[in-house]
Amino acid sequence: MTNKEIKALISLLDDQDPEVVAHVHQKIVELGDTITPFLEEAWEESLDPDHQKKLEDLIHDLQYGSLERRLKAWKDEGATDLLKGMWLVSTYQYPDVTLEKIKQIFAELYYEAWVNVRPEMHPYDQVKALNHVLFKLHKFSANTKNFHAPANSMLNQVLETKRGNPLSLCVIYLTLAQKLGLPVYGVNLPNLFILTFKSEVIPQFYINVYNRGLILSKSDIDNYLLQLNLSPVDIFYEPCAPIDIVRRALRNLSLSYEKLNDPEKATEIEKLIDVLGDENAAQAASSPDDDEDDNDEEGYDDEDEDL
C-alpha cells in the first residue's frame, strides 16, 4: 500500500459503523508493525480522545504481536542469548529500547570490571572485586521501596535507575561475570534467584546478588530450603538455562501487574510465557517470587523478596 492509502485506511478508524472499524482494525493488524509510524503520526494529529485511544490500542496490538514473534524466534534459535531474551522482556513496556543501547551500557560496565577483576585472583576475591564495581562504584542495589514495580523486571530501566529485583540484578551480575570469563550461572531457588560459581578449581559456592553479592555455601542453601519445608532437589543447586531465567522474569512481571490490579497486562505476559513453552514441575515450584517474609534468615535481608 502507498502512504496515501495507509493514511486513508487509518482515517476509517473514526467511522461510525462498528463493523467498518473492526474490519479496518483487522486490516491494519495484518499489515504488521511497519505501519506503527503512521499510527503514531495520526495520534499526534488527532484531537479526539476516543480516536486517540483506538490508535493507542492498535499500536499496542501491533507491538505485542511483534514481540510474540521475536520471542518465538529467540526460542527457536536456541534461546542461548540471555541478554537478547531480557531485552525482549523490556520491549513489552519500552518498545523503542534497542539491544545495541543495552550492550553499550554493558560494554562500559565491563571495562571497569575488567580493570578490577583479574584472572589470577582467587574466585572469592574475584567476586568481591565485582561486588565493589557494581555495588560500591556504580551503586546498584535492591529496590526494596517499590519491590513490585514492573520496571524492576525491565533490564533497560534497571541499568538506568540501578535499582532492581533479585533476578534482574543477577542478570547484570552474571552477564559481566561471564564476559570476564568467570563460571557464574543463574540458580532457580524458590523465592530468591541467586547465582553460583561453579568450576573445577574450588568447591561450588553461591552468590546472593540481592544482598550485595554475599557469598553462600551449600549448607546455607540447605538451611534456606529447610526453612521453606522443601526437599533439596538438584534444580535448587545447579545452573539453569537462559530460557528459564527469561521465563522467571516474565512471571515476575506478570506478578507485578497483578499487584497493580492490571489483569489485562498480566494476562498478556502469561501468553508470552506460553510462547516459551512448558517447564517441569520443579522449575514451576521455584516461582513466582512474591513473599517477602520467606527470606528472613541469616544471610538474607529481612526485606528480600524473591523475584
User: Is residue 23 within 8 Å of 13, Cβ to Cβ?
Assistant: no
Mean pLDDT within 26-40: 79
What pLDDT, on the 0 to 100 scale, is given for residue 279?
60
Cα-flanking dihedrals φ and ψ of residue 123, to 5°? -50, -40
What pLDDT, on the 0 to 100 scale, is given for residue 301?
39
Bigger pLDDT: 302 vs 277: 277
Q: Which residues on adjacent β-strands are paired with residue 205?
A: 197
Q: Residue 22, class by beta-carbon neighbours within 10 Å (0-12 exposed, 13-18 middle, 19+ buried)?
A: exposed
What pLDDT, on the 0 to 100 scale, is given for residue 278?
67
Is the pLDDT at 291 greater than 60? The verdict is no
Assigned C-alpha cell, 289:
517470587
Mean pLDDT within 38-55: 79
Mean pLDDT within 72-95: 97
Q: Distance between CA 253 and CA 67 in Å, rounded? A: 15
**176-197, pLDDT tens digit by residue?**
999 999 999 999 999 999 999 9
Please state, rounded to an integer, the average pLDDT across all residues of the chain. 88
Boundaries of every domain in the chain: 3-76, 82-295
What pLDDT, on the 0 to 100 scale, is given for residue 306?
40
Is the pLDDT at 299 greater than 50? The verdict is no
Is the pLDDT at 285 greater than 60? The verdict is no
Please report which confidence band the pLDDT of residue 211 belongs to, taking 50, 70 and 90 as the band edges.
very high
Mean pLDDT within 42-70: 84
Mean pLDDT within 277-285: 53
Which has the minimum average pLDDT: 3-17, 80-94, 234-248, 271-285?
Answer: 271-285
Please report which confidence band the pLDDT of residue 300 belongs to, taking 50, 70 and 90 as the band edges.
very low
Mean pLDDT within 109-125: 96
Report which secondary-structure segment, H or E, holds 186. Answer: strand 184-187
The count of C-alpha atoms lying within 13 angstroms of the C-alpha of 170, restricted to the half-sphere facing its C-beta, is: 32
Q: Distance between CA 288 and CA 43 in Å, rounded? A: 37
User: Is residue 174 within 8 Å of 252, Cβ to Cβ?
Assistant: no
Q: What is the DSSP letter of 276?
A: T
What pLDDT, on the 0 to 100 scale, is given for residue 289?
57
Mean pLDDT within 273-278: 90
Sign of torsion over alpha carbons 127, 128, 131, 132: negative
Bigger pLDDT: 47 vs 298: 47
Mean pLDDT within 202-226: 97
User: Is residue 78 within 8 Å of 242, Cβ to Cβ?
Assistant: no
Is the pLDDT at 296 greater than 80? The verdict is no
Please report which confidence band the pLDDT of residue 46 belongs to, taking 50, 70 and 90 as the band edges.
confident
Q: Distance between CA 192 and CA 24 in Å, rounded? A: 46
Is the pLDDT at 118 greater than 90? The verdict is yes
In the numeric block, the cell 499500536 is attached to 59
Q: Distance between CA 184 and CA 176 in Å, rounded? A: 9
Q: Distance between CA 114 and CA 130 in Å, rounded? A: 9
**130-176, pLDDT tens digit by residue?**
999 999 999 999 999 998 999 999 999 999 999 999 999 999 999 99
Is the pLDDT at 305 greater than 70? The verdict is no
**DSSP class per residue in 14-78:** G-S-HHHHHHHHHHHHHH-GGGHHHHHHHHHH---HHHHHHHHHHHHHHHHHHHHHHHHHHHHTT
Q: Residue 50, class by beta-carbon neighbours within 10 Å (0-12 exposed, 13-18 middle, 19+ buried)?
A: exposed
Most confident of the ranges 42-51, 202-211, 297-306: 202-211
Please report which confidence band the pLDDT of residue 229 belongs to, taking 50, 70 and 90 as the band edges.
very high
Q: Distance between CA 170 and CA 245 in Å, rounded? A: 10
Report which residue type is found at 65: G
State the pTM of this model. 0.85
